[in-house]
Chains A and B, each alone.
Chain A
């Protein structure tokens, strides 16, 4: 295997302009920052991110997930998730008509080991999970200081400077998406990589998924494939009876999944 990575950044002219590409890909935030910080001037013309122009949604096709755990590893690397806690995780279901077995060793961080169940399974599958960024969030409802909120582009966030670490939101989330970080002593959870999607990138988990299980889309774009799948396909959400209106939609979700 030859290693070509040792090329020094050359000064030779290049049609793609690698430096420009990389620096713009990783530093688009500058304009965004200035733009957003000038609030409430959102919606004014200019480059940068306008949160009124997007309504993010997430689609998970559980028939494609192979349980490799790349998403969990990528999320941990992208967001400095503390050990033993998970912003996203993958569950394995091994099911027969009489019994079912669910596991998620370290959230799927290192993939899944082979498993022997005391019953003969008839079906099994993997289900990735994360914060569902619900429209009717039970977690934002119970935050006593307004540290947790939902942005106008549909992302539920936690203000780390405002959170007092009471843990009420952790108790209120029906999906187990939230945790109290032992490092910051505030509530944390999946942010759909807000620092990436505001720069036109995709969340890290979507970026690395090798089987297109995880897809990220914009409900405001007419031709968005995720939007079309949700609008036309048979989709489910987790714990629909709680009426939290999650924005993570699942294809082929089995009744065993809670």
Chain B
């Protein structure tokens, strides 16, 4: 069909365009894409290694401070993680060596966050109404009387 030659030319260009796109696309799709689903599988390992864990847990602290851990485990704070009042382990130890002093929060706020009497806390949980607590004053550090590692007096 002579008079339709221009149509064939256009269609040819279209086919070439689609071919270029399809071939080019295969170079751009990441290697691990589709291995286990429509995502880049390499990312799973990347996420597993995205950063070193920063919290170590009580056992990790006890590896260097067994006395402390023993005292804690005997007291009312045995379920409180060291890193709640102190800082995450990774700020203090890296590669098995100490890199900085462990931070510690000794403020009133630290204790009040858990122990201030609040609507919503389970009744069995020890809560304090400051006015009824040894004439406590807002802001006075609780640790002046209580040992945070064995708080029951």
Q: Do chains A and B touch in the complex (CB under 8 A)?
A: yes
A interface vs B, CB < 8 Å?
A: 1, 4-9, 16, 18-23, 25-27, 29, 32-33, 36-37, 39-40, 49, 51, 63-64, 66-70, 74, 77-80, 92-94, 110-112, 114-115, 121, 124-126, 146-152, 157, 159-162, 191, 193-196, 198-199, 201-202, 204, 207-212
Residues from chain A with a CB closer than 8 A to the CB of B94 are: 26
B108 contacts the other chain (CB 8 A)? no
Q: Please determine whether B55 and A208 come into contact, CB atoms closer than 8 angstroms.
A: yes
Most buried by B among A1, A157, A159: A159
Q: Please determine whether B32 and A146 come into contact, CB atoms closer than 8 angstroms.
A: no
The total number of A-B Cβ pairs within 8 Å is: 199
Query: How far apart sit A4 and B54, CA to CA, in the bound complex (Å)?
Result: 21
Q: Please determine whether B65 and A4 come into contact, CB atoms closer than 8 angstroms.
A: yes
Nearest chain A CB to B25's CB is how many angstroms away? 13
| 24 pairs of residues in contact across A and B, judged by CB atoms under 8 Å | A4-B65, A5-B65, A7-B64, A26-B56, A26-B90, A26-B94, A29-B49, A33-B45, A36-B44, A36-B48, A39-B44, A69-B113, A70-B81, A74-B84, A92-B120, A111-B114, A114-B119, A159-B40, A162-B40, A191-B47, A196-B55, A201-B57, A204-B55, A208-B81
Residues from chain A with a CB closer than 8 A to the CB of B81 are: 70, 207-210
Nearest chain B CB to A177's CB is how many angstroms away? 17
Residues from chain A with a CB closer than 8 A to the CB of B139 are: none
Nearest chain B CB to A23's CB is how many angstroms away? 4
Given the interface pairs A151-B44, A211-B79, the reply to whether A201 lies near B53 with Cβ below 8 Å is: yes
Most buried by B among A68, A157, A198: A68
B60 contacts the other chain (CB 8 A)? yes
Q: Interface residues of B, CB < 8 Å — how many?
A: 65
Residues from chain B with a CB closer than 8 A to the CB of A162 are: 30, 39-40, 43
Query: How far apart sit A20 and B60, CA to CA, in the bound complex (Å)?
Result: 11
Nearest chain B CB to A162's CB is how many angstroms away? 6
B4 contacts the other chain (CB 8 A)? no
Contact flags (1/0) for B106-133 with A, using CB distance below 8 Å? 0000001110111111100100000000
Q: Which 9 A-B pairs have CB atoms at the shortest separation, nearest pair first?
A: A149-B39, A36-B45, A19-B96, A111-B113, A124-B120, A159-B43, A198-B48, A146-B38, A18-B63
